[in-house]
A and B are shown apart, each in its own frame.
Chain A
């Protein structure tokens, strides 16, 4: 304060203002400040104007952070990822704390397939984020999930998978975004925690009701836990919302089909066939519908199943079903080829080998038939621990053994059949054949089959015995089928479901588990219940 004069006034020292004019303090002009307009044009995808603004303003703007940001995004939209990264990096240099820029860099790296780098970027962003950001959590989860799938070591993969799950849970809490819910449900589904997966999706539904994808998914999950009533309710909602949702319609049709409402199911399938005719599972189901009709339409069934196989030649379910229909139609040579194809696809199916055995028996190739039956019995025994039991395999083998004079083996197989059919509700068809065989083999009465009138059976043995061998090919499988009342089908329902569950497991390993699940749920259900008819055929 050298220039100012100081005087004493009223006992205080005060400075007198100088005569010099107060120096005007220059104010920095704001510049054009056009970021908001840039944002608006970007949101409208008016990239030409965006570029125009950026080009002109980039070098004179006081804070070009957002311009670099938008430039990067536009570059990315136009497919120039490298340039996008460069521009986003420039934006980041100007403001190293903007998590949005981090996110966009991460997303760009994600698009480019540089997943490890993307993960690092998202992790950095997570540390910087002032609060839990759902998008960051979602992407970290996604990336971990991906790297878990690619990891070589099981422990690392497990660890990453668990972490991915944790991040998805965080994302769900932070952002309530649909995608995160769906991914979380997907992981839970893979872990077979269906109840929680449903819970997650139901929560998701609270946020965005009437979402067809989510509804369908819930429906399919309910099917998995055998709650077909709830599944049915959900899927009806889907269909009410969108009459043309093929996935929903297909699952809905499958439920109807499993409830023996063949015409209702066919009606639904018709609608799908109108919009999307090239779904192999659809034709598989249609084929089974025809097969199941009161007046069996074998030819229609065959042509539908063949269409399904034509659409997807490696579809195991369709091949299995087609061979079954062929056997019913007594086209054993064709059935043999279809079965051979099916077995080439999956070598671990006891039912498939059993059918092959039946088929070869009919073709009078006893040697190979025996081998096939033996294999089916072996597989059945190996799997019986974890998978569903199918006593039919043993029953058929026992019948064949008896026929070819291998009495000892027949007795052994029969006891296996008895032990494996314990605590299962068997259809009368099974019981009938079993009782007949038992009396032929002269096995003392066991407590399992007490429900059948054993006394009457022992009288009828000889009569039925001659019929059993004599009638040969004439009594058609169709007869046996029409005899099956609704009760019978529900009777072995438990068995069917177990088998279906097992098949589902294998399917889950597929990458597109999500898409196929709805479709797959249907064919497996229907295919698994087919051995019922087989029994009729083999005993005919």
Chain B
């Protein structure tokens, strides 16, 4: 396909052991670490399988070159140049918890720790008291610590609260002298060029901590040259994007865990909220050209906002976005937005237009674009399962939105071809009937009216009949308690058992002086007992009685007499009340066909 002719897949020898890597986009960087003009991929491998550990892995091409053990899980890895002295040696910064480790020539040479924050008054007082009071009083004091919000506590208080009472005293004594201080954890790193010069300008390091502080660190003297807050209250950043140069002006866009996006400028010390969405972000970009902010989030949308928070355009993504990186192509003067989606699709957007897409064998979880090896435009991808893929962009590749649009448009226009409104078909009967109605409208109407009256008449008569003959399962006589009768026939014959359930439907009246009478054609059925006097029936307590019914069979043929048909194979049940001629209920029970006696 012409679209995918833009990329060259780097083919890896199948026999070679393929290195596996579990990483995220923030922990990947490209760096000419040996100063030999060969750019290597550096990534932190986070092992979650057993104990969470991390190693810094340096690749040469796709093969593992060096490994460095890290004493913690790094939140971000960045590489940059700290000065202009030749030969330019890149520095790798690895952020672990509250400190940043700086590596030069693959050797750690400095550990910078983010300044601690003062603890709450209450907490400090408590720690002054704790070592001095008696052991019995300690639990009460520890308990009072709980009133402080957990994230605003120093680590030792956090730990103390989790300990059981027996361990507390020992812990207090051990840590009594340690300063009561909060250590914010670093959650994201960024690079901020000092001045915009040629290639590889010296940069500062931007640090975002989990209490919402944004710091700019000068990597030579390790002094903080800029300090700001994400917003006026504490919130946890999740991603940052930096644009500009320190000397002139810069902007930092911060996305937080809870969906807010804030903008920081050089001149302000507190970020301003640009917009907020209700879904967590998976990618954040600040496009350099028109300074728009592009985010992709859990709701499968790629949304671009202006710096004022105006939504510029929305692209619906076909699947959940996993990560997003900017692809800057200086030779074309473009910055593309590269989004990896669940299922292996990778899409490239030029502003609102999809310009290129390709499928990978598995979902891509981390990406990194830039000069790798000796090639200029290389896209390094790591799948969720840990495989590394490399694609090289052809130097001749150009991205024209019309190209893919035309391709998609073709499909669409094909669907739109010549559509004739699907009308329901008119049969000749329909037309005939319409014509007949036109001529004989009055007769039709008259016939309908007559039939309607007939129907009403029939229905009314049936109702009156039913009332008169009491042929229902519920007694209709309103002067007495309403009684409900239900019947059940058990057995296959010739002996049956008829169970009658009589229920008093009234809520307060008693039904008394009742008698059940069974009536059947004696040629067909024999009844041992055809009448039963019933006790008084209380509301809500159903009464169950049973009768034995024997079907009459011809002794020779073992068949019922020929006079028995389906219509007259029935037994009448009557519910009588003493001193009343009309039965309360007169029901007919259809009897099943009898089997021969065995």
The answer to whether A44 has its CB under 8 Å from any CB of chain B is yes
User: Which residues of A have CB within 8 Å of B210?
Assistant: 35-36
Q: How far is the CB of B327 from chain A (nearest CB, A)?
A: 20
Q: Is chain A's interface secondary structure helix, strand, loop, or mixed overall?
A: helix
Give the contacts of B294-325 with A (CB-CB under 8 A): 297-298, 309-314, 320, 322
Contact between chains at A364 and B73 (CB < 8 Å)? no
Contact between chains at B178 and A53 (CB < 8 Å)? no
**A33 touches which of B174, B185, B424 (Cβ 8 Å):** B185
The answer to whether A130 has its CB under 8 Å from any CB of chain B is yes
A97 CA / B444 CA spacing, docked (Å):
77
The answer to whether B414 has its CB under 8 Å from any CB of chain A is no
CB within 8 Å for A25 and B178 given contacts A30-B98, A30-B185, A332-B441: yes
Contact between chains at A273 and B310 (CB < 8 Å)? no
Give the contacts of A47-66 with B (CB-CB under 8 A): 49, 52-53, 56-57, 62-63, 65-66
**Can you name the residue of chain A whose Cβ is closest to the Cβ of B298?**
A43
Contact between chains at A333 and B437 (CB < 8 Å)? yes
A304 CA / B426 CA spacing, docked (Å):
11
In this complex, the member of B24, B98, B257 whose beta carbon has the largest number of chain A beta carbons within 10 angstroms is B257
Q: How far is the CB of A75 from chain B (nearest CB, A)?
A: 16
Contact between chains at A303 and B423 (CB < 8 Å)? yes
Contact between chains at A30 and B258 (CB < 8 Å)? no
1/0 per residue B410-444: CB within 8 Å of A? 00000010011111101000110010011001101
A39 CA / B162 CA spacing, docked (Å):
23
| Among B10-18, B60-68, B274-282, the stretch in contact with A | B274-282
In this complex, the member of B48, B98, B188, B423 whose beta carbon has the largest number of chain A beta carbons within 10 angstroms is B423
Contact between chains at A299 and B431 (CB < 8 Å)? yes
**B421 touches which of A94, A98, A175, A269 (Cβ 8 Å):** A269
Contact between chains at B156 and A304 (CB < 8 Å)? no
The answer to whether B386 has its CB under 8 Å from any CB of chain A is no
The answer to whether B158 has its CB under 8 Å from any CB of chain A is yes
The answer to whether B553 has its CB under 8 Å from any CB of chain A is no
| Among B147-155, B374-382, B520-528, B541-549, the stretch in contact with A | B147-155
Task: Give the size range of B's interface with the partner.
Answer: 35 or more
Q: How far is the CB of B127 from chain A (nearest CB, A)?
A: 13
Give the contacts of A412-457 with B (CB-CB under 8 A): none
Contact between chains at B438 and A39 (CB < 8 Å)? no
| Among A204-212, A503-511, A527-535, the stretch in contact with B | A204-212
CB within 8 Å for A34 and B52 given contacts A25-B178, A44-B320: yes
A451 CA / B235 CA spacing, docked (Å):
75
Contact between chains at A270 and B419 (CB < 8 Å)? yes
The answer to whether B445 has its CB under 8 Å from any CB of chain A is yes
A210 CA / B438 CA spacing, docked (Å):
52
Contact between chains at A363 and B442 (CB < 8 Å)? yes
Contact between chains at B282 and A44 (CB < 8 Å)? yes
The answer to whether B177 has its CB under 8 Å from any CB of chain A is yes
Contact between chains at B158 and A304 (CB < 8 Å)? no
**Can you name the residue of chain B whose Cβ is closest to the Cβ of A289?**
B421
**Can you name the residue of chain A whose Cβ is closest to the Cβ of B147?**
A96
Q: How far is the CB of B274 from chain A (nearest CB, A)?
A: 10
Q: How far is the CB of B71 from chain A (nearest CB, A)?
A: 9
The answer to whether A274 has its CB under 8 Å from any CB of chain B is yes
A176 CA / B311 CA spacing, docked (Å):
10
User: Which residues of B have CB within 8 Å of A365?
Assistant: 445, 449
The answer to whether B457 has its CB under 8 Å from any CB of chain A is no
Contact between chains at A336 and B232 (CB < 8 Å)? no
6 A–B contacts, CB within 8 A, in A order: A28-B155, A36-B75, A44-B282, A131-B233, A208-B314, A329-B434
* Chain A residues close to B by CB (< 8 Å): 23, 25-28, 30-37, 39-40, 42-46, 49, 52-53, 56-57, 62-63, 65-66, 94-98, 100, 130-131, 134-135, 175-177, 206-210, 243, 266, 269-271, 273-274, 277, 286, 299-300, 302-304, 306-307, 329-334, 336, 362-365
